[in-house]
Structure 1
Amino acid sequence: MRTILILTGRDDLTADAVVEELAKRGENVVRYDTADFPTTSRLAVSLTGDGWAGSLVAGSRTLRLETIKSVWWRRPNEFVTPEAWPSLARALAVSEARSGVLGVLSSLPVRWINHPAHDSAANYKPRQLAVAARAGLDTPRTVITSDLDHAREFMGKDVVIYKGLGGGVLGPNGERKFLPVSLVSAKELDDGVTGTAHLFQENVEKAFEVRLTVIGGRMFPVAIYAGSEAAKLDWRTDYRSLTYERVPIPLEVENGVRRLMKELGLFFGALDFVVTPKGQWKFLEINPNGQWHWIAVKANVPLVEAMADALQGEAE
């Protein structure tokens, strides 16, 4: 029987919902967390004329690579080695595990949602914005700079948006720390700008924002209305104040998104847009592995079913 492989951690409510839906459809699903390797998981594969063949043991289940028909690269955890090992040995073992296990899996010629190499490359915001501009999407005026004069020249007398370029860093207790979205003006800048790269972007007037979830050829746009001042700046800071509404997507935006997804090599994406009072859709960013189950519930959007369709191979 053909198998759907889901790579994620144990505490993943989004994956839980999709696994439940696939089980209802009679699909054979293996859920695997890379944190189990090498302590409770084993890999045994051989190179053949068609690529790698063999098995990946996950707990009490043995997965034959030849049976895999699709892989969902959801949110697997880092590889874990025994704490009793010396620190250098642990670091080397994790490095080898990552190259071995992920190297074998990523070579499989099956449907990936998304392939980890494409997922990783698409996370760079400068690349996203450049590809979006080439794809014909309307992007805000933006600079990335470590030059104080350049930053001040861009701002002029305007108040602009400052946001982080990356996905944050892990704090001392394992919590992820992000640079908050904030408003800044030229007079607030100093030589600290030279310390690293910064992204400054025009502050686009908002009527509302849109979270557009793309799964293959299907698009699910949902308007997000902010109910507080904090949410108007960044809706992620105040989920309780938000309201949602399914909205149509303009044809030119749809076409631009399809070009964007193709160039980035993505099957799935969670895209954010600002819609101005005049109805212009301004592209902000795409998260190639963004959360989406919450908006499926809040806006009654069939994203679980769409993801299950895609993993079954029934959606392009």
Structure 2
Amino acid sequence: MSTILILTGRDDLTSDAVVEELVNRGERVVRYDTADFPTASRLAVSLTGDGWAGTLTGSRTVHLEDVKSVWWRRPNEFVTPAGWPGNARALAISEARSGLLGVLGSLDVRWINHPAHDAAANYKPRQLAVAARVGLDVPRTVVTSDPDHAREFMQTDRVIYKGLGGGVLGPGGRRQFLPVSVVGADDVNDGVAATAHLFQEKVEKAFEVRLTVIGDRMFPVAIHAGSEAARLDWRTDYRTLSYAPVALPPEVEKGVLRLLDELGLFFGALDFAITPEGGWKFLEVNPNGQWHWIAVKAGIPLVAAMADALQEGAACP
């Protein structure tokens, strides 16, 4: 029987919903967390003319030849035995990552998304450049470590400052992000030279849209903020938000499909700011963004759509 492999941690409600849907459809689903390797699972594969064949064994056994699709969801970091010295742990984790992900990544099946494409697409300057190239409307943006360059961009305007990356792991394993803030030239000092910063034109917003894309299926949802904090960054005040499905302009749909194609993504969670005049300003794409909460709040069939994509199991283009 063919297998759908889901790579994620144990506490993942989004995966729980999709697994339940797939099992109800009669599919064999194996959920695997990379944190189990190498301490609680084993890899035993051999190279054949068709690629790697063999088993990945943890709480359940996966025969690689039977895998028809892989969902790279939210797996945790590899774990080595306690008590190993730091250099040995670092080397073992590096070898585990290269070995296990190298073997799995070679599978010619549908990936949502392939970890290599996921990682590359997470570089915000790259996704902004591709978005502009494919015709999406991107706010004026600079990436700089030069204080004078930053002041020249701002001039007398207030602009948006946001993080370039996906945050860092803080205490308790919780991910910490740089908050979105509004800054002006008077806020810029020589500390800007310490690292790279992203400054972006402040867009006047009527509301925002979270567009979830699974393959060629698009689910745009308007997000209306109910507080000043949420109007700046809706992630900071979920309790004030309201949601409703919204129509997607054809030219935006065309640009989004080209963007995801160039980034090699099957799935994407995209954010747009909608201006009072109805313009769609592209803000970013998260290759592995959260979506189950918005499926519930807006009543859209994202669980079924993800299950459909994994069930089809065709190789990615």
TM score, norm. by length of structure 1: 0.98
Please name the residue that 1:271 is paired with. Answer: 270
**Which residue is 2:67 aligned to?**
68
* SS of structure 1 residue aligned to 2:43: strand
Q: Who is 1:182 aligned against?
A: 181
What is the RMSD of the two structures over their aligned residues, measured on CA atoms? 1.1
Structure 2 segments unaligned to the other structure (5+ residues): none
CA contact (8 A) 2:69 2:313 kept: no
* CA offset digits 1:165-221 (Å, max 9, x no partner): 011112244332211100001011111111111100010000000000000000000
2-side partners of 1:164 and 1:87: how far apart? Answer: 30
Question: CA separation in 2, counterparts of 1:38 and 1:154?
Answer: 49
Matched residue, 1:245: 244
CA contact (8 A) 2:68 2:313 kept: no
One-letter amino acid of the structure 1 residue matched with residue 35 of structure 2: A
Aligned residues: 315
What is residue 82 of structure 1 aligned with on the other side?
81
SS in structure 1 at match of 2:290: coil
* Identity across the alignment (%): 79
Cα shift readout 1:69-119 (whole Å, capped 9, x = no counterpart): 000000000111110222222221111111110000000000000000000
> Does the 8 A contact of 2:222 with 2:244 survive in 1?
yes
Say whether 1:116 aligns with 2:115: yes
Q: 1:11 — aligned with what?
A: 11
How much has 1:39 moved relative to structure 2?
Answer: 1.4
> Residue type of the partner of 1:9?
G
1:51 aligned partner: 51
CA distance in 2, matches of 1:166, 1:189: 20
User: Deviating runs (4+, > 4 A) in structure 1?
Assistant: none
Quick one: which amino acid aligns to residue 211 of structure 1?
R
1:257-268 to structure 2, matched below 5 A, reads 257-268=256-267
Q: Determine the structure 2 residue equivalent to 1:300.
A: 299
Describe the superposition over 1:109-148 as per-residue Cα deviations: whole angstroms up to 9, x where unpaired.
Answer: 0000000000000000000000000110000000011111
Which secondary structure does the structure 2 equivalent of 1:179 belong to? coil
Change (3 A) 1:314 1:169: closer
Aligned to 1:201: 200
Which residue of structure 2 lines up, in the alignment, with residue 38 of structure 1? 38
Quote how far apart the aligned CAs of 1:40 are: 1.4
| Mean CA deviation greater in 162-171 or 216-225 | 162-171
Distance 2:20 2:298 in 1: 20
Runs of 5+ in structure 1 lacking a partner? none
1:24 matched to which residue of 2? 24
Q: Corresponding residue for 1:282?
A: 281
Shift of 1:12: 0.2
For residue 38 of structure 1, report the CA deviation from its aligned partner.
1.1
Partner letter of residue 87 of structure 1? G
- Write the distance in 2 (CA, Å) between the matches of 1:2 and 1:296: 28
Letter in 2 for 1:294: W
Aligned AA for 2:102?
Answer: G
**What SS class does the counterpart of residue 210 from structure 1 fall into?**
strand
Distance 2:32 2:175 in 1: 23
